[in-house]
Amino acid sequence: MATLDLIGLRKNFGATQVLHELDLSLAHGEMLVIVGASGCGKSTLLRMVAGLETPSAGRIVLDGADIAERDPAARDIAMVFQNYALYPHMNVFDNMAYGLRIRGLPRADIKRRVDEAATLLGLEALLKRKPRQLSGGQRQRVAMGRAIVRDPKLFLFDEPLSNLDAKLRVQMRAEIRKLQRRLGVTSLYVTHDQVEAMTLGDRLLILHEGTPAQLATPMAVFECPANTYVASFVGSPTMNFLPGRLVHDGSAVRLDAGPLVVLPNRLSGDAVTLGIRPEHLTLGAEGLTLAVDLVEPLGSETLLHGRLVGRDDTAITVKVAGAVQPSETVTVGVQADQAHVFDRATGERVEAVGLR
């Protein structure tokens, strides 16, 4: 196991700054998931750690040694790519053994490592097959096995599940997490999939335009998003946002759409945005009137999509249990104890100034 410290890490492509003075520390055996929209800098960050991109400034410290100037092969890092990157003319055994042969390890040691990794990944019966004879999930296991046999200090995962179908993604997600915990290898995992991020990471780093928007545990990010960007990115369907103003000494929000939402804590500020997740809107309760545009039955739950009556610019999604009969309009109430309040100008979370 190893620690990883990124200190003042920055990356420019010409005049464009992609990553801004990033400071980050990973503990022994931790899996940190980096998530964000396309172009936010997450893959660039991973490639700099791997040595495939050169930082414009900053240090990359792995287990106390600065590796920013080292060649990729000398960093003791293993990377699992999105496209597997297997050699098509080699069988599974040779694909997994190739890196060890390049390093000059004895044949017996190579066989032992490959056999151990194959057993761990359930690949024992596939060692003589070529990549074209494997399914997508099997190819991904081989790519992981190739990383495991190296016994690296650090694992890097670059959207490794994005080429798999939905059912296989769920299966492989669980396998990656169990494997990482069993091996105890410090890991950086990049994805755009928020479900992967929530289920895989010990902590999440949400990047926004090359800057950390929030770094916390998955549940802390979900339950207490730092700003409207994080709140809109984490959670499916996305959080609803309603404009309003704090009233009654900060103890309530008067929504622009009309209803008053009494808050559990007193806040300071003026113009705010009230954030409420679709599952925290109560169908049939007094509060907001929603003109329904679309009903999505999903079996155990139903999603209602629509707009606030009188406010066509405010889209609302409601998640309710079971089946719901379509209707032109519905009323929904806000579960105030589940509401999030953000400053309308900055988008930052408004913190409580005292219990009511």
Q: Which two tokens stand for residue 62?
A: 């792995």
Q: What is the pLDDT along the chain (356 residues), one digit of tens a residue?
A: 689 999 999 999 988 999 999 999 999 999 999 998 888 899 999 999 999 999 999 999 999 999 999 999 889 999 988 888 899 999 999 999 998 998 899 999 999 999 999 998 889 999 999 999 998 889 988 998 999 998 899 999 998 888 788 888 888 888 888 888 888 999 999 998 888 899 999 999 999 999 999 999 999 999 999 999 999 988 888 999 999 999 998 999 999 877 889 998 889 889 999 999 999 999 888 888 999 999 999 888 999 999 988 777 789 999 998 877 777 889 999 999 999 999 999 999 998 764 43
Domain ranges of the chain: 4-230, 238-355
Backbone angles phi, psi at 83, to 5 degrees: -100, 15
Task: Give the three-class secondary structure for 283.
Answer: strand
Do 172 and 16 touch, CB atoms closer than 8 A? no
Q: Which two tokens stand for residue 132?
A: 């074209």
Task: Give the three-class secondary structure for 44.
Answer: helix
Q: Which residues, 6+ apart, have CB-to-CB distance to 138 below 8 Å?
A: 123, 126
Which residues sit opposite 319 in a β-bridge? 303
Superfamily assignment of 4-230 in CATH?
P-loop containing nucleotide triphosphate hydrolases (3.40.50.300)
pTM for the full model?
A: 0.88
Which option is the CATH number for 238-355: 3.20.10.10, 3.20.20.70, 3.40.50.2300, 2.40.50.140? 2.40.50.140
